[in-house]
Structures are given as C-alpha cells and as structure tokens.
Amino acid sequence: EAGVAQSPRYKIIEKRQSVAFWCNPISGHATLYWYQQILGQGPKLLIQFQNNGVVDDSQLPKDRFSAERLKGVDSTLKIQPAKLEDSAVYLCASSSYRGLAYEQYFGPGTRLTVT
C-alpha cells in the first residue's frame, strides 16, 4: 500500500512569512497527526484529527498555526507568521485503530528553515 505522502520536502522562508504543508495519509486511515520535530528532539504532537474532527490541539500554537482536514482525507498545516523557532521538521502520520493498540505510519516530513 502507498505510504503517507507529504509535500514539500524542504522549505526555506524568512521570518514573518507564511508557509503551508500538505499531507495525504494512508487510504482508509481515520486518524491523522501533525508532529513538530526540532533537531535533536523527539516528535511533539501539534494536532490530531479523527476523520474531520479535531481530537487534540492542546499543543498547537493557535496564534500562528492552523490545520484543517477537509473531507477526512488530506490535511494542511499552516504557519502565519513564521518565527525563527519554528525551524523544524514537520511530520505527518496516520493510523488505523486495531483492537486495543495501534501503530502510526509516518511520512518523510517537511524540513522548514526560517531565516
């Protein structure tokens, strides 16, 4: 089966500019996640969708970050305006709940550099 697709793979912008990332999860996966991974750290959850709805966005900086998942499939994550500390890899993942446990499938990520 096709994996999680993300684009672009790399993006360089200046601070205060805006940027958008796109994710296409594995077909049939109801749950979609966006993570932020700063260099040398583990991924940190930004937002979790279950179909169209938001399950958890408690760690999303809502003054500058927004995300949507139209029709319960593709998702976009936007940053406006960007700050230097937003430089990171943005990972999208999807999962299909299996019984009492699940595993997540990750895309290759988008490496964002804010100058």
Partner 1 sequence: SQQGEEDPQALSIQEGENATMNCSYKTSINNLQWYRQNSGRGLVHLILIRSNEREKHSGRLRVTLDTSKKSSSLLITASRAADTASYFCATDTGRRALTFGSGTRLQVQP
Shortest Cβ 47–partner 1 spacing (Å): 9
d(CA 42, CA 40): 7
| 102 close to 95: Cβ distance less than 8 angstroms | yes
Strands across the sheet with 5-7, in order? 5-7, 19-24, 75-79, 65-68
Q: How many residues of this chain interact with partner 1, rule: CB under 8 A? A: 27
Nearer to partner 1, 79 or 94 (CB): 94
Rounded CA-CA distance 75/73 in Å is 7
- Which CB sits closer to partner 1, 17 or 50? 50
Tokens 């995300």, located at residue:
67
Using CB under 8 A, pick the residue from 17, 66, 96, 104 that binds partner 1: 104
**Identity of the residue, 61 or 108, whose beta carbon is nearer to partner 1 in the bound complex:** 108
Q: Checking phi first, is residue 73 left (phi over 0); if not, alpha (psi -120 to 50) or beta? A: alpha
Question: How many residues comprise the chain?
Answer: 115
In the range 60-99, which residues lie near partner 1 by CB under 8 A?
91, 93, 97
What x-and-dash track marks residues 18-57 binding partner 1 by CB under 8 A? -------------x-x-x----xxxxxx--x------xx-
Site residues for partner 1 per CB under 8 A: 4, 31, 33, 35, 40-45, 48, 55-56, 91, 93, 97, 100-109, 111
